[in-house]
Structure 1
């Protein structure tokens, strides 16, 4: 069972999408509602903030471009250079006030970036009108699953042949067969049971088990590859949002959280809402795959 070793009072409104950068030995994440990317130096516990032009749902590091990210901003995907704030758009399918925005995302083991959208305004967008998108190495953005409400829980098995995905309001987690060569999805089936709360961000550990944050339940749940629940960690807040592994040996487990939507009474009862929780785990995680492009694909350098 992972042991809580530290709490960083980050003060996030909607902390999400933590990723460990192996080269930098830093944790990166987004505070969506504050329109900022954040990074933590583990040794000094110093947090650095970068303002962003739109809310950031998720992002990935880019192979061969150490100062550049591929980012799922609220309206679309873009190259982003945190050092100077430069942006180069790839595609903006949610521009123009669609009532949807991009949300959770992660690279698969082959380096494709997956990002899903969510319905924010059902009157404008329509129910279940969000989608799961794939950004291939050719820089083309493709819809791979429609009929979604709030995309979450994107992560891939260690062998890269299974993609996990969640639709939060439906309390549903899914597993897909993922073609490692083409990125095609097939064989969607239910994965695990959500007994309490709503499945939010997720990550896979080195044993192939899925760690899923449960928004509203104050828990992080570990699922075996067959979907069964094998461990549950309780937190002193109700809205954990996502999980990441990091540290020198990838045995630190980071959990982001949110204060967004809490009443004044709930905030008083949960003074650590919006904090970053750090656990020590017996089982290590996996290094995050970076987004990989074909030769000649554009983008910031």
Structure 2
């Protein structure tokens, strides 16, 4: 299938794309490039917002029903900005050592809480966790949902708000959990899909490895769309975990999927070039770009959810 390039920026590690329907713009972050970005796919006009630390993810924010800027998960905490490019104010710290761990994949749930999974950068990992930040009723409160992971990715919720999805990328496993959104209570993890690991002799650019699950999106029918890092493809899984589609990408390392555009049926995919072999980058010159599938998908995606901030109070200005 044909792909188009979105915007003018080349990222080291693009992630966390989401579509703002009211603006008809795509937002994403460059983790290694320490920036947030947004683009108008119709014109290609792109804006870059430099940040003081690596942003794992970001989301729109709302106070009393009105847009009130942005929430961002940086390496050393959760920050709010009143507008694009505005001053950052830390509203919460996450309970880990930012010398060895950083924020990674995340987004807001349908109740307005910001979920952030982390990446443990130490050899072997094992200390990453999923956190939930709730500021709906006052100052932000942080809840640890689970730990023992290495690189948490693939966060998403089913349309009926009863199932939560995630992946610990190095395990090659996508998990599902029953979820009570009102109480924010989770059931035990079960395997939605288990992928085969890479062999010890596998080399980039060769056959025999399908990639590992990275960032994801969910459509209105409950299908789970997942970027397969090092697999050069995006998969659509059914709510039961069956592979419905495999769509090849022109890059080896797609990082996250977003469904947006005017009808919610344009597939956007962020990609990575950080740490990739020079011969791979020569073969895949679009690595680091944001891509849009030229052909619309059949089912639209769920809309982006906003962070509900009761006070929008500025704390710990940077």
- Common topology (TM > 0.5): yes
Residue in 2 that maps onto 1:10: 9
Describe the shift of the 1:116–1:11 C-alpha distance in structure 2 as closer, same or farther (beyond 3 A): same
Any conservation in 2 of the 1:214–1:239 contact (CA below 8 Å)?
yes
Per-residue Cα deviation, 1:82-126 (whole angstroms, up to 9, x for no partner): 53431111222367544010100011222221111111123xxx7
CA distance in 2, matches of 1:237, 1:106: 24
Describe the shift of the 1:84–1:266 C-alpha distance in structure 2 as closer, same or farther (beyond 3 A): closer
Any conservation in 1 of the 2:75–2:98 contact (CA below 8 Å)?
no
Give the gaps of 5 or more residues in structure 1. Answer: none
How far did residue 5 of structure 1 move? 4.8
SS in 2 for 1:34: coil
Per-residue Cα deviation, 1:39-71 (whole angstroms, up to 9, x for no partner): 011221111101111110001111245351111
Describe the shift of the 1:19–1:105 C-alpha distance in structure 2 as closer, same or farther (beyond 3 A): same
Normalising to structure 1: TM-score of the pair? Answer: 0.92
CA distance in 2, matches of 1:83, 1:178: 33
Residue in 2 that maps onto 1:63: 62
SS in 2 for 1:111: coil
Describe the shift of the 1:33–1:94 C-alpha distance in structure 2 as closer, same or farther (beyond 3 A): farther
Pairs within 5 Å for 1:143-154: 143-154=144-155
CA distance in 2, matches of 1:289, 1:150: 23
How far did residue 199 of structure 1 move? 0.6
Residue-pair matches, total: 294
SS in 1 for 2:2: strand
Identify the match of residue 247 of structure 1 among 261, 270, 279. Answer: 261
Residue in 2 that maps onto 1:213: 227
2:259 pairs with 1:258? no
Any conservation in 2 of the 1:74–1:94 contact (CA below 8 Å)?
no
SS in 2 for 1:265: helix
Pairs within 5 Å for 1:26-37: 26-37=25-36
Residue in 1 that maps onto 2:206: none
CA distance in 2, matches of 1:129, 1:90: 23
2:294 pairs with 1:277? no
CA distance in 2, matches of 1:164, 1:94: 23
Any conservation in 1 of the 2:26–2:38 contact (CA below 8 Å)?
yes
Residue in 1 that maps onto 2:313: 298
2:177 pairs with 1:176? yes
CA distance in 1, matches of 2:2, 2:142: 39
Q: Which moved more, 1:211-220 or 1:181-190?
A: 181-190
CA distance in 1, matches of 2:246, 2:193: 13
CA distance in 2, matches of 1:155, 1:299: 29
CA distance in 2, matches of 1:207, 1:97: 38
How far did residue 281 of structure 1 move? 1.4
Give the gaps of 5 or more residues in structure 2. Answer: 197-209
Residue in 2 that maps onto 1:99: 100
CA distance in 1, matches of 2:84, 2:162: 35
> What RMSD over aligned residues (CA atoms) do the two structures have, in Å?
1.8
Residue in 1 that maps onto 2:201: none
Identify the match of residue 197 of structure 1 among 189, 200, 211. Answer: 211
CA distance in 2, matches of 1:237, 1:84: 30
CA distance in 2, matches of 1:216, 1:84: 32
CA distance in 2, matches of 1:36, 1:120: 20
2:43 pairs with 1:44? yes
